Each structure stands twice: as structure tokens, then as C-alpha cells.
Amino acid sequence: MSLLLEGKKALITGGSRGLGRAFCEIFAREGADVAFNYNSRDEKAREVVEAIESHGRKGLAYKVSVTDRPAINKMVREIHHEFGRIDILINNAAINRADNFATMTENSWNHVIDTNINSLFNVTKPVFKYMLRQRAGQILNISSIGAIRALPTSVHYATSKAAVIGFTKCLSREAAPFGVTVNAIAAGIFDTELADMLPDRLSGMYRFWAAKGRNGRPEELAEFAAFMVSERNSFMAGEVVTVDGGAVV
């Protein structure tokens, strides 16, 4: 059987750590050339590029914030020039802060909303235009179970991840007639730095109630994501698939 993503060209946001790094490595293993952006960790980014190249694929790293729209536009143009096309977009970049709503500052709210929601527009808009022209493409947005369940997580984070779901469902209707597919994953708690920011009581409760009895591993989500954006998953559109280890919290 051929590789899931043989010959595909992928762009992954927030690719130097956590889930993003797993996406980069698994997608490259499955045959895709991979470009990704990152914020600050040059050494981590180099490691990811080396991991991509170890699978015989091309890796491109861009030190660009998803909140910087002009820089993102430039990055997307350069990736398209290097790859010739962009087949897959993974909107993964996100932040969280351990804030209570009562004491949450306006700056904290704006920072999370800008990073987690406005980035969807900043990144997807230029990529979407290329996908429309080529009449093909896969967009996968990473949401959270915090968007659909009353978990003790931060209000700004849950709000932003709920927006990802609305974005996914509405854009999928507009995109489908042009051969572009848009779906999302509502992710549970995975072993990442983002998860380390969660209150201990939430992490402990999650592991207790999850059927798997543990947090997820980033590569487990990446394996499923690779299938979701592959040609073998040809009839799913506008769906939000929960991957959370069977949590019932």
C-alpha cells in the first residue's frame, strides 16, 4: 500500500513543538514535503527540519508569528513558490493561559483570541486562494474538547476553540464545490507544553475519567490527522472529530 500523503505539500502552523512537531514528522514519514512556522525556538525548528529530511522529504521552517498577517502572506507565497502548490493546511498553532475570567486582563484575552482565532484568517485566506485555483486541497483545524464541554479551562481558550468549530463548518460549505475539504479535530489532553499549563485537578480528573486512563501522545493525534487529510478520507466534510481517549468529563 502506498504512503498516505505521497507527493503532497503541507503547511503546518506551530510546527516546532508539541502536536505541530508530531504532525510534521508523521506527515513527512507518510510522503509529504512539509513547511511550518514557529515563534522563537530556532534549535527546535532545526530539529524538526532534520526529522522531515530524514524521511527523504523537503522541510521548510519560517520564524513568523501567525498574528503577523503581512509576514504570513509573504511566507505562504514563498512556500507556494518552493513547493509549486499547497495541498494540505493544518491550523494547529494555539496558546492558552491559566486565567480566571474574574481576573482576566484585556491583554490576556486579546492575546489568546488573536493567536487562536485571528490566525485562522491570517493563514487560511492566502492558502485557500491557492487551493481554489488548483481545485483541490485539505484544511484541518485543531480545536479542543474544551470548546464543546464544560471543562475547568480558561474562558478565552474555550471561546477561541469554539470559534474554530464554527469556522470549520461554515468554510467547508463554501470550499467543497471547489474540491477543497475542511474538517477539524476536537483534541483531548495530549502530552504537550500546552497541557502542562492546565490545573493539576483537571489533568488528574481527565486521566481518571478517560477510558484510556492517560493523556494522549502527540504522534497518536498526528497519525489520525494524516488519514483525515489523505485521499483515502474522501467523503468527510465539515466534521469535528473528537480524539480524546474516551474521556467522559
DSSP secondary structure string, 19-71?
HHHHHHHHHHHTT-EEEEEESS-HHHHHHHHHHHHTTT--EEEEE--TT-HHH
Which residues, at least 6 apart from 174, have a Cβ–Cβ distance to it below 8 Å? none
62 is catalytic: no
**Residue 219's closest CA among 59, 81, 21, 5?**
21
Query: How far is the C-alpha of 120 from the C-alpha of 116, rounded, in Å?
Result: 7
Of the residues 38, 130, 157, 206, only one is catalytic, namely 157
Please give the grid coordinates belonging to residue 194: 500546552
∠ CA 19-23-27, nearest 5°, is: 170
What angle separates helix 119-134 from helix 155-175, to the nearest 10 degrees? 20
Residue 214's identity, in one-letter code, is R
The residues with which 180 forms a beta bridge, in sequence order, are 137
Q: How many residues does the chain have?
A: 249
| C-alpha distance from residue 155 to each of 95, 100, 102, 162 (Å) | 13, 7, 10, 10
User: What is the set of active-site residues?
Assistant: 157
